[in-house]
Amino acid sequence: MDLSFTAEDQAFREEVQAFLRDHLPAGVRHKVLNGMHLERDDYLAWQHALHARGWGGPSWPEKFGGTGWSPVQQYIFDSTCSEAGAPRLVPFGLKMVAPVIMAYGNEAQHKRFLPPILAGEEWWCQGYSEPGAGSDLASLKARAVRDGDHYVVNGQKTWTTLGQYADWIFCLVRTDPEAKPQRGISFLLIDMKTPGVTVRPIITMDGAHEVNEVWLEDVRVPVENLIGEENKGWTYAKFLLGHERTNIAGIGIAKRELARLKRLALTEVREGRPLLEDPLFAVQVARLEIELTALEITNLRVLSAEAENRAPGPEASILKIKGSEIQQGILELMTEAVGLQALPYRREAMGAGYQGDYPVEGHALTPTMQYLNLRKLSIYGGSNEIQRDIISQMILGL
Amino acid sequence: MDFTFTDEQTMLFDMTTRYLGNEYGFEKRASIIASDAGMSEAVWRGIADLGLLALLVPEENGGAAAGPVETMLVMSAFGKALLVEPYLASAVVATSAIARLGDARQRETWLEPMGAGDLIAIVAHDEPHGGATRATAVGGGFLLDGRKTMVAHAGRAGLLLVSARSDDGAVGLFAVDPAQPGVKLVTYPTVDGGRAADVVLSQVHVADANRLGAGDVSEDLAAILDIGLAALCGEALGVLQRSLDATIEYTRTRKQFGQPIGKFQALRHRMADMLIHVEQSRSMAYLAAVRADEADVAVRERALSAAKVVVGEACRFVGQQAVQLHGGMGVTDELDVSHCFKRLFAIEKTFGSTREHLSRFSRALVA
């Protein structure tokens, strides 16, 4: 039993920190540390910088141009980057479709699709959820019918995050409507420029355009863009969801935001004293910090088990539930810290270079937007209620 | 980073678990609690024979010189069995106190029989309101006056280690024979099936040779109590796990509306939340064990307080929900779940409550 990182891990962390000092663009860092809105180019600039260093695929095996890092090294990399104010890696290509292509795609698909993901040259989005298929994903209806050497796809996908930037979408489609729901699904890669693909924004309650609807009308997809076998898509879909759940706890992000909360609570003054000296407020901050300490150790325990026997198991559900609750809790307290200043709504001030006449104190505007935005955490990626179902079935055997 | 246990540690845990499985069933425990002594001499002898009482005794005094991780493992096995014998009080806290503060003669005199199971020693530290215990210097020693409370199994102890404050404000630790003049024990059962006493001290004379350490030992005392707190977190883990296991088992077999009640989502989700509390507590019991003998006091206190908050909240939630999900059966004396509940209730209040540790941790945010 030893909770400290090895000297090797420590040296690795310092290497990552040094890289961050030299190569994380200052403007991007400023936005992340202050909870501001990130543009497509901000994400890409970071991916390009990592790629140039050979770190474009932190979770990828070396065989495909990745780093070949252990789960613990990946954790150190992710948390060190998050704490330093790096943007998250856009997961749809790197962490979602790429592992599926590696595991179930053919040689030609490896060559065609993996290098542009690594280099940040092609942006992917996810075509899983539909208006009628959310938590019950296997009930999806988007239909693909074989026509010569093409599939003709019709249907509607939704909650497509950053789909407005995407070059490609990976889709679950129904290829056998007669089979049991899980048996008749296939996994297709679709070029967003194909005629019949339409992206429509969904504006969320923070005023952001982050998610979209994607309409597919008589979209012709070459059969070589089928992953694996027809009607086996559910297997690949579940494999992908397993990978989506790595680093799901968001420890590094939570640490960064907790530090920001504390800075805020030291500068916000109530009755002549820093807010952090208000015992009632301090206790709420303390609770979150304590929960986060426990979750970090739980996360490391899961990683260590993972290092011994591969993909994250149902324990990842614990990380998802606690991680989302902690992040939401931190933002909730941040809005409380700024008091009445949580109410002025100036969305444009979240972008860089805001020159408006509202006196932005640097911190007072973004917490509310982030608080509104982060309500999604306990809903997406399998809602926290679905996670409790997974725990009770897979761990408790109920 | 390494979350595995050595082969020796695993064997220690397995051996303890096996012994308790054979010797400490529900009925056996019930008879021990109901007995006059409130503890079993046979069990005490049994765990002495396994070497467990000498786990924290230094090698030169015939012990295993093990550490907080071994203690956590043994304590989690004791927690799972709801052991009422004063292992924590004597083999962990008092043993650590003597090993840390005692001189060579004191260590030899007390630690060897303690490790062998021939002597029970208990630290008498907590005080009721107005119990402020004083040590007044007299020729060749001290006179102790005051009152201590919740001194575990004091009635069975051969040695009390009493903390008391001198006129100069320094806190000392004094060895007292419970049978000596001026010592009065007011014994009582505790809510969790244990035994304890108030120790009333009137002009109790302690020779210089029976004082442990020199000068003010309050920092040492805090470190010793943190060793106890880490061990207590280990015990909590065992009780929490037993509560959850019992609840899962019960809701799988208990049928209503034609199906096991564990199939109902409201109950399944509750049990998922219980598991999260247990796993977060496990993480913090590990942290507490690893930081229990940390030299940097601020780091140690932070970690130990954080651990007690997570564990304390788990004690409340898991205990209450285990009873709730057992329905009417949960509130009876007949099932182990109510006994778990009462032990968890006691743990939450021992070595500082959740509120006290949350308060300490949050004050340190601006320190």
Q: Angle between the B297-325 and B336-349 helix axes, to the nearest 10 degrees?
A: 150
CATH code, domain with B195: 2.40.110.10
Are B208 and B225 contained in the same domain?
Answer: no
pLDDT band at residue A358 under the 50/70/90 scheme: low
Q: pLDDT tens digit string along B32-61?
A: 999 999 999 999 999 999 999 999 999 999
For range A131-144, the mean pLDDT: 95
Contact B262 A322 (CB under 8 A): no
Contact B284 A293 (CB under 8 A): yes
Is residue A231 within 8 A of residue A176, CB to CB? The reply is yes
- Closest by Cα among A116, A126, A100, A127 to A44: A116
**How far does Cα B70 stand from its chain's mean position?**
14
Is residue A258 within 8 A of residue A288, CB to CB? The reply is yes
In chain A, residues with a C-beta closer than 8 Å to the C-beta of B269 are 385, 388-389, 392
For range B276-296, the mean pLDDT: 97
Selected catalytic residue, list A130, A244, A268, A296: A244
pLDDT band at residue A357 under the 50/70/90 scheme: low
pLDDT band at residue B161 under the 50/70/90 scheme: very high
What pLDDT is attached to residue A242? 76
Is residue A234 within 8 A of residue A183, CB to CB? The reply is yes
Q: pLDDT tens digit string along B230-265?
A: 999 999 999 999 999 999 999 999 999 999 999 999
CATH code, domain with B94: 1.10.540.10
What pLDDT is attached to residue B123? 98
For range A138-151, the mean pLDDT: 97
- Closest by Cα among A15, A152, A143 to A73: A15
What pLDDT is attached to residue A312? 60
Residue B211 backbone class (left: φ over 0; alpha: ψ -120 to 50; beta: rest): beta
CB nearest A286 (choices: B279, B280, B361):
B361
Are B285 and B321 contained in the same domain?
Answer: yes
Confirm whether B301 is domain-assigned: yes
Are B255 and B172 contained in the same domain?
Answer: no
- Domain span including residue B275: 218-366
Is residue B229 within 8 A of residue B89, CB to CB? The reply is no
CB nearest A290 (choices: B262, B265, B310):
B310
- By CB atoms closer than 10 A (0-12, 13-18, 19+), residue A242 is middle
Instruction: At B130, give phi and psi (nearest 5°).
Output: 75, 15
How far is the C-alpha of A251 from the C-alpha of A75, rounded, in Å? 9
Contact B361 A6 (CB under 8 A): no
Count of CB pairs separated by less than 8 Å, A with B: 128
Are B352 and B292 contained in the same domain?
Answer: yes
For range B179-191, the mean pLDDT: 97
Nearest CA in chain B to A274: B366
Count CA atoms within 13 Å of residue B174 on its CB side. Answer: 29
User: Residue A361 pLDDT > 80, yes or no?
Assistant: no
Number of domains in chain B: 3
Interface test with A, best of B270, B279, B310, B357 (most A CBs within 10 A): B279
How far is the C-alpha of B50 from the C-alpha of B44, rounded, in Å? 10
What pLDDT is attached to residue A359? 53
Of chain B, the percentage scoring pLDDT greater than 90 comes to: 98
Are B81 and B165 contained in the same domain?
Answer: no
For range A188-205, the mean pLDDT: 97
User: Residue B317 pLDDT > 80, yes or no?
Assistant: yes
Helices (H), A275-338: 279-308, 316-337
Are B223 and B345 contained in the same domain?
Answer: yes
Confirm whether B286 is domain-assigned: yes
Are B128 and B114 contained in the same domain?
Answer: no
Minimum mean pLDDT among A80-94, A230-244, B282-296, B325-339: which range? A230-244
Question: Of B212, B242, B277, which residue is a domain's last?
Answer: B212
- By CB atoms closer than 10 A (0-12, 13-18, 19+), residue A343 is exposed
DSSP class of residue A311?
S
pLDDT band at residue A355 under the 50/70/90 scheme: low
Question: Of B98, B119, B140, which residue is a domain's last?
Answer: B119
For range A185-190, the mean pLDDT: 98
What pLDDT is attached to residue A309? 67
Write the DSSP assignment of B262-295 as a string of letters.
Answer: GGSHHHHHHHHHHHHHHHHHHHHHHHHHHHTT-S
Are B246 and B356 contained in the same domain?
Answer: yes
For range A221-229, the mean pLDDT: 98
Question: Of B169, B185, B212, which residue is a domain's last?
Answer: B212
What pLDDT is attached to residue A362? 56
What pLDDT is attached to residue B122? 98
- Closest by Cα among A53, A165, A65 to A115: A65
pLDDT band at residue A360 under the 50/70/90 scheme: low
Minimum mean pLDDT among A23-37, B140-154, B331-345: which range? A23-37
Average pLDDT, chain A: 93
What pLDDT is attached to residue A314? 79
Is residue B351 within 8 A of residue B225, CB to CB? The reply is yes
CATH code, domain with B290: 1.20.140.10
Nearest CA in chain B to A4: B1
Are B52 and B78 contained in the same domain?
Answer: yes
Q: Give the minimum alpha-carbon distance from B127 to chain A in angstroms, rounded to a whole number.
A: 26
Minimum mean pLDDT among A271-285, A308-322, B5-19, B310-324: which range? A308-322
Write the DSSP assignment of A143-181 as a string of letters.
Answer: EEEEETTEEEEEEEE---TTGGG-SEEEEEEES-TTS-T
Count CA atoms within 13 Å of residue B50 on its CB side. Answer: 19
- Establish if B273 touches chain A: CB-CB under 8 angstroms: yes
What pLDDT is attached to residue A315? 85
Contact B280 A395 (CB under 8 A): no
pLDDT band at residue B304 under the 50/70/90 scheme: very high
CB nearest A304 (choices: B3, B5, B9):
B3
Write the DSSP assignment of B16-69 as a string of letters.
Answer: HHHHHHHH--HHHHHHHHHSSSSS-HHHHHHHHHTTGGGTTS-GGGTS----HH
pLDDT band at residue A345 under the 50/70/90 scheme: confident
Confirm whether B1 is domain-assigned: no
Q: Is A289 a residue of the active site? A: no
Residue that is written with structure tokens 């070589």 in the block: A224
In chain A, residues with a C-beta closer than 8 Å to the C-beta of B272 are 317, 387-389, 391-392, 396
How far is the C-alpha of B335 from the C-alpha of B326, rounded, in Å? 9
What pLDDT is attached to residue A307? 73
Are B69 and B132 contained in the same domain?
Answer: no
Confirm whether B2 is domain-assigned: no
Confirm whether B361 is domain-assigned: yes
Confirm whether B325 is domain-assigned: yes
Minimum mean pLDDT among A267-276, B71-80, B237-246: which range? A267-276
User: Residue A356 pLDDT > 70, yes or no?
Assistant: no
What pLDDT is attached to residue A243? 74
For B177, the token pair is: 């024979």
Are B13 and B104 contained in the same domain?
Answer: yes
- Cα–Cα separations (whole angstroms), residue B339 to B84, B96, B262: 11, 29, 22
Q: Which residue pairs, CB below 8 angstroms and at least 24 apart, start in A194-203?
A: A194/A219, A194/A220, A194/A221, A195/A219, A195/A220, A196/A153, A196/A220, A197/A169, A199/A160, A199/A163, A199/A164, A199/A166, A201/A164, A202/A158, A202/A159
Residue that is written with structure tokens 């007949």 in the block: B334
What angle (nearest 5°) sits at the alpha carbon of residue B248, between those of residues B242 and B250?
100
Are B334 and B241 contained in the same domain?
Answer: yes
For A50, the token pair is: 């990592």
Nearest CA in chain B to A295: B280
What pLDDT is attached to residue B164? 98
Is residue B210 within 8 A of residue B194, CB to CB? The reply is no
Q: Give the minimum alpha-carbon distance from A263 to chain B in angstroms, rounded to a whole number.
A: 11
Nearest CA in chain B to A322: B276
